[in-house]
Structure 1
C-alpha cells in the first residue's frame, strides 16, 4: 500500500476518534442543558460530529480498502470544505473590518455605538428574534451580575477609571452622555432627560439594565469582531492543513486508479 494511502488512512482514523466525543458532547447538551443558550448549541455540535464521522469513514475506507468512488466522494467534500472555509475567512475579515469603541475623556473604558459597525452585522442584531435570543444568553451568562459584584465597592471616581469590557460598558451601565447619578455599578439615578435613545431604555432591574440598548448590541458586535478575527486566523492555519490533506488524498486516489488499471 502506498505511503499517501497510509497517511490519509491515519489522518482520517484520528478524525473519526475525535468525532466521537463531539457527538457525545452534543447529546449531553441536548439532555442536560440548563439554559436556552446551552441547548441552542446541541444541534450544531451533533451535526458537526456526525459530519466529521462520515467524512473520515469515507476517507479511511477509500484509502485503506482502495475504494476509489468513496475516496472521490471524500475529495469532493474536502474541496467544498476548503472553498467554504476560504470564503468564510474572507467574509469574516470584511464584515469585522469596520467599527471600534470610542475613547471617552477621563474614563478607563470606551463607549460603543451600533452605527459604527458594518451594516450586515447591524441587520443581524437588529432583528428582534435574533436579539431576544442573544439577550437571553447574556442574562443567563450573568455578565452583568459578575460585573456588579466585582466593582460593587468602587466609588464613582474609581468606577470611571475601570477598564471595562465591551459587553460590560455597553450592556451593564448607562451611556455617559445620559448624565445619570452613580449609586453602584448597576444602579443609577436618572436625572432629567436626554435625546440619546438608550437613556430612556435603561432600567435598574438586573434583567433589563441596558440589554435593550443599541450600546449593548454594539458592545456585542465589538466582542464578536475580536473573536471572529481570532477565528479567521485559526481558519487560515486549518485551511493550510486541509489543502495538505487534500493533496495527499489526491495522490492516494491516483494510486487507487493505477492499481485498478493494473489488475484489469
Structure 2
C-alpha cells in the first residue's frame, strides 16, 4: 500500500508518455509536409507540446517507479507551475470572452457581428496587421466562402439560412449596405457607391477579396474564438481537477521515495 501512489503516478505518466508521441509526430509531419499557413502555424505548438509532455512524463515515470527523488521533485515543480498557469489562463479566458454577441437582423435567419462588441484585448490581437494576415490566409484556406457559394440558392433561401459567424462576416457584405444579390458571394454595388460604413466600401466580388478585410469578418473570427475559448475554459476546470489529483499523488510518491531512501541508513540499528 505504501507504493500505491507511486504506481498510480507511474501509470498515469506512462499514458501521458504514449499520448505525447502522436502529438510530437504530428508536429514533425506538419513541419515537413505542411503547405498552408494554418498548418505551419500549428507546427511549432505541436512540437513544443509533444516534447514538453514527453519530458515531464519521463520525469514522473522514472521518479515514481525507480525511486529517483530529484526527478520526482522536478516533476512536482513543473506540475505546480502548470496548475498555476492553467488556473490563470482559465480565469483570463472567462473574463475576455464575457463580452460580444451576434446581433439579430430583422428578416434574416443569420446574425451579424461588430468588432467593437468584443473585448479590447481580443480586438487588438485580431486587428494587428501581422496577425490578421495569417488569420485571413487560414480563412481562405478553409474555403468557407467557396462552400457557401456551392449551395447556389435564391435570395429568399439565403437570407433565411443560419450562417456561421465566418460566413456572415467574411463571405457577404453587411445587410446595411443594401447591395443587390446575385449569389451567396456575389453582390452588386450601385454605381459610384461610397458609404460611411467601411465594410461596404471594402466589399468586392473577387473571391480572393470578398469581405476578408472587413471589420465584420474580424468580428466573425472573434465570435468563433469566444465560443471555442468558452469550451476550452470549461474543459480546463476538469483538467485542473485531474492535475491537482495527480499533483497530490506525486507528493505522496515523493514522500515514499524519501522514506525508502532513508531506510537503509537506520535499518541496521536496533
Superposition TM-score tier, normalisation by shorter sequence: over 0.9
Structure 1, unpaired ranges of 5+: none
CA deviation profile, 1:219-261 (whole Å, cap 9, x unmatched): 0000110010011111111111111000000000011111122
TM-score normalised by the chain length of structure 2: 0.95
Q: CA deviation at 1:94?
A: 0.4
1:197 & 1:32 partners in 2: Cα distance? Answer: 39
Partner of 1:182, secondary structure, is: strand
**Counterpart of 1:185?**
184
Aligned residues: 262
- Calculate the aligned-residue CA RMSD, in Å: 0.9
Q: Does 1:175 align with 2:145?
A: no
**Counterpart of 1:46?**
47
Q: CA deviation at 1:194?
A: 2.2
2:44 & 2:118 partners in 1: Cα distance? Answer: 29
Q: CA deviation at 1:193?
A: 3.1
**Counterpart of 1:156?**
155
CA deviation profile, 1:51-85 (whole Å, cap 9, x unmatched): 00000000011111111111000000000000011
**Counterpart of 1:240?**
241
Partner of 2:182, secondary structure, is: strand
**Counterpart of 1:100?**
101
**Counterpart of 2:61?**
60
**Counterpart of 1:37?**
38
CA deviation profile, 1:136-183 (whole Å, cap 9, x unmatched): 110011011111112x1x211221111101000000000000110000
Q: CA deviation at 1:34?
A: 2.0
1:228 & 1:84 partners in 2: Cα distance? Answer: 16
1:55 & 1:230 partners in 2: Cα distance? Answer: 26
Structure 2, unpaired ranges of 5+: 266-270
**Counterpart of 2:202?**
201
**Counterpart of 1:165?**
164
TM-score normalised by the chain length of structure 1: 0.97
2:56 & 2:28 partners in 1: Cα distance? Answer: 20
**Counterpart of 2:142?**
141
**Counterpart of 2:20?**
19
CA deviation profile, 1:18-77 (whole Å, cap 9, x unmatched): 111111111111111121110111111011001000000000111111111110000000
1:44 & 1:235 partners in 2: Cα distance? Answer: 18
Partner of 2:254, secondary structure, is: helix
